[in-house]
Structure 1
Amino acid sequence: MKVLVVFYSLYGHVYRMAEAAAEGARKVYSAEVRLRQVPETLPDEVIEKMGAVEARKSFAAVPEVTLEDLTWADAIIFGAPTRFGSMSGQMRQFLDSTGGLWAQGSLVGKVGSVFTSTATQHGGQESTILSFHTTLLHHGMVIVGLPYTFAGQMGIEEIKGGSPYGATTIAGGKGERMPSDVELEAARFQGEHVAKIAVKLAT
């Protein structure tokens, strides 16, 4: 079973969630996991002005995703931060390059899943994931979310992300809040759940 975790991250929040999702997928005995990032489209000077240079160094060694990675995988978990209630432009640009795969039906029947990050609690986490699903459905993918069997998304004892649509994290207005333990556990659960569903579909 082959699982691809592909993400875009600017300050490292989504990267940490991606690592957790990959860790969860590896718990499934047959899973071979690849971690990949989508190409950056912002100029270096803009990244410097946004104060993201140091943060990006933490995942600079992660290879960039290719279309071959998508065809290789049996399941694909996508992670991207929210931009005005939808996915980041970097992820959108990468997905827009998959038209050839769509024409060939290359992703039909593969498992697809999404996680995200927002600055605030109500910053478009659910709308980002749900709008992301539209692209996956056009590719004929089988969508898997974060079921309520992950009980960590319940309760109000602390500020936390997470919904049945997918794992999420809240970064704070200045990106000062990194994913909490429960948010990382949600991503691990989602990764493992996706891999298990992919195994079932393959048998």
Structure 2
Amino acid sequence: MSHPINLAVIYYSATGTGTEIVNEMSKAAEDAGALVRVRKVSELAPPAAIGANPAWAAHHAATSTIPAPSFDDIEWADAVIFGSPTRFGNIASQLKQFLDTLSPLWSQNKLADKVYSGFTSATTRHGGHESTLLALYNTIHHFGGIIVPPGYTDPVKLVDGNPYGTSHLVEPGNEIGSVAADTRNAARHQATRVVEIARALKSGHAS
């Protein structure tokens, strides 16, 4: 492919749902010809809170080798997918804290003209899936970024049902269970679409 795409997937996950979605997205993006960096933002919760939840503690340990994102990852990327669980209808503080550090890049206009997209998960069907993604995209507007939502651009989105981004319902009592097929299909489609749109934009700039 004449215009390889650099994709950064930057996310937060407490108990592992987000990590499973990231794994699907990164594989799909690589299949679409992208170079992918997966980055998990730093944990802000105190050790006592993490240790009180066995699933949280296990996932925290299992993902300890995933690098935290840096300014270099953002500058390197042609496209960025952000992911966060829903926290009261908004993104988690861990991801927000990282976004809030990006002012030096913003002031140099280094966040603009990149492709951005997002995904989320929640434990209730109407627990803020859409509002979390819309809140994330408010930040992207300030970046001057190009938001690429999945919309209903593939039949898998008619099953997943969220045009703003992949969102997963964590069924009560199944918080540590596997991510459902409809979410995985939506995640793969979203990542592929992000790469394709980023490639088209990069090709247009290069020509």
* Smaller-chain TM-score bracket: over 0.9
Superimposed CA distance per residue, residues 108-142 of structure 1 (whole angstroms, 9 cap, x where no aligned partner): 10000000010111110000001100001100110
Question: Deviation at 1:176?
Answer: 4.2
Partner of 2:117: 113
Partner of 2:188: 188
SS of aligned partner of 2:31:
coil
CA distance in 2, matches of 1:185, 1:10: 22
CA RMSD of aligned residues (A): 1.3
Unaligned runs of 5+ in 1: 156-160
CA distance in 2, matches of 1:190, 1:23: 12
Unaligned runs of 5+ in 2: none
What TM-score comes out, normalization by structure 1 length? 0.92
SS of aligned partner of 1:6:
strand
CA distance in 2, matches of 1:178, 1:84: 23
Identity over aligned pairs, percent: 35
Answer yes or no: is 1:37 the counterpart of 2:40.
Answer: yes
Give 1:49's aligned amino acid: A
Question: Deviation at 1:177?
Answer: 4.2
CA distance in 2, matches of 1:101, 1:43: 29
SS of aligned partner of 1:26:
helix
What TM-score comes out, normalization by structure 2 length? 0.91
Partner of 1:179: 179
Contact 1:12 1:58 in 2 (8 A): no
How many residues are aligned here?
197
Give the alignment of 1:150-165 within 5 angstroms. 150-155=154-159, 161-165=160-164
SS of aligned partner of 1:95:
helix
Give 1:35's aligned amino acid: V
